Amino acid sequence: MGQSMTNLNFNTEIPTIGEAKIESPLKRHAKKRGSAKKFVSDDARIIADVQMDNLKTSLKKNLSFDQAGPREKIYFDPSKLKCAIATCGGLCPGLNDIIRSIVLELYHIYSVKTIYGIKHGLQGFIPEFKHDVIDLHPGSVSGIQDTGGSILGSSRGTQDIDQIVDCLERMTIRILFMVGGDGTLMASKKIAEKIEKRGLKISIIGIPKTIDNDIHLVSRSFGFDTAVDVATLAIKGAHNEAVAYPNGIGLIKLMGRHSGFLAATAALAQQDANFVLIPEVDISLYGKTGFLQALENRINRRKHAVIIVAEGAGQNLFEEQEKQFDPSGNIILQDIGLFLKNKITQWFKGKDMPVSIKYIDPSYIIRSLPANANDSVFCGLLGREAVHAGMAGKTKLLVSFWNNHYVHIPMDASSGKRKKIDPQGRLWQSVLEATGQDASFTE
């Protein structure tokens, strides 16, 4: 995986809102099909001790995660249950697949008939925004997997937790599925804590969403595979443009605010890139070992170059700039893509070397696309596992893919932390080998 992860010694037990006493409807479905349904015991665990660079030395020998899957006994009575789904933060391929999977599993497998779609993320819970609520059922989600974005919409920014819980109480919602990134997971954790403080029986299930693939304790996030597919097309285009002109330079900016997984993976998928710049490794621009000199050396040697830069790379070059924040509290990054384009132009102009720079930023195209086949299958599995967890009365968890299994991760263990590339790990070393770039300017 090539990720840098520090101390994983924490409590992995998943909270429940009560004892599961109701026989799962999945038993009846299995009998109708003449087959035995395989249920997962609450004692089933997935060992977290996998060989991942230097991770092994930091793990407790007995650290394991709760295995996801259907339980033989469930907590909620499906005939009286009301559920809700909210999608928050930036758009991502697969959001509609997740919504569809949750709705179909609840409706057809557990016979839950009341499912609400909360419009525009956390804003949908706040009365002053006056967003409508959507009734979700198989007809309303038919075919949505073929469209990008989210049929529920989204929003950014924090909202009052008390008002959100008030809304859940008024609507008598008992399971809330929250689909979002790190900020959404932190909000979900606060909602679950407020629910617990009030003594309510409401389950909060998180489904991690980020194109950057940087959520802690999640080895793969949905939408990432689709993003890599499209990013490789951008790299192909940049390479074709670069080789078509004398001293051609293709510069592609990809998503990756704090982690360079997309840039690194796309570079390995296509292997046309000569330089990959990621947030985990600072960049030096000038001097004999600086990036601009390395780029000049490449142009002199091969007459063209392709550069991939993650959006969060090179922020060390803007240290004098005053930091600004978006409505969700995230730092607004300086535009490293345009910055590099200008610096490259200035450098070669000073050298009296004519170059042809083609700058490509496919970020918002990628975010709003439908999921590819691999991501669509993955979303279906995530949605079903989320429903199984909620119906069993589990709460304050996120559904994760870890060590080739679907598991439940406590929100306390993941929220507020971030997965990053290990600069000494195999993923980054493979990028250096594939590009042949001199690592001296990224140390």
SS (H, E, C) 168-186: HHHCCCCEEEEEECHHHHH
Per-residue confidence (pLDDT) for residue 440, from 0 to 100: 67
Note whether residue 395 is domain-resident.
Answer: yes
pLDDT above 70 for 95: yes
Task: Convert the pLDDT of each residue in 256-309 to its tens digit.
Answer: 999 999 999 999 999 999 999 999 999 999 999 899 999 999 999 999 999 999
pLDDT above 70 for 51: no
The confidence band for 19, taking pLDDT boundaries of 50, 70 and 90, is very high
Q: Could you confirm whether 182 is annotated as catalytic?
A: no
Per-residue CA distances from 391 to 28, 135, 198, 386 (Å): 16, 19, 21, 9
Q: CB atoms < 10 A from the CB of 433, how many?
A: 11
Same domain, 211 and 234: no
pLDDT above 90 for 166: yes
The confidence band for 4, taking pLDDT boundaries of 50, 70 and 90, is very low
Same domain, 357 and 395: no
Catalytic residue among 66, 212, 214, 422: 212
pTM confidence score: 0.92
Same domain, 326 and 399: no
Domain that holds residue 76: 3-222+371-420
Same domain, 176 and 49: yes
Same domain, 184 and 210: yes
Task: Convert the pLDDT of each residue in 192-229 to its tens digit.
Answer: 999 999 999 999 999 999 999 999 999 999 999 999 99
Per the model's pLDDT, the better-predicted residue between 33 and 44 turns out to be 44
Per-residue confidence (pLDDT) for residue 32, from 0 to 100: 67
Note whether residue 162 is domain-resident.
Answer: yes
**How many domains does the chain contain in total?**
2
Q: How far apart are CA 108 and CA 226, in angstroms?
A: 28
- What share of the chain has pLDDT > 70, as a percent? 90
Same domain, 93 and 196: yes
Note whether residue 431 is domain-resident.
Answer: no
Average pLDDT score over residue span 77-95: 96
Two structure tokens written together for 167: 């809304």
Same domain, 48 and 182: yes
Average pLDDT, the chain: 91
Q: Are 63 and 49 in contact (CB under 8 A)?
A: yes
Per-residue confidence (pLDDT) for residue 1, from 0 to 100: 46
Q: Are 281 and 443 in contact (CB under 8 A)?
A: yes
CATH of the domain at 363: 3.40.50.460
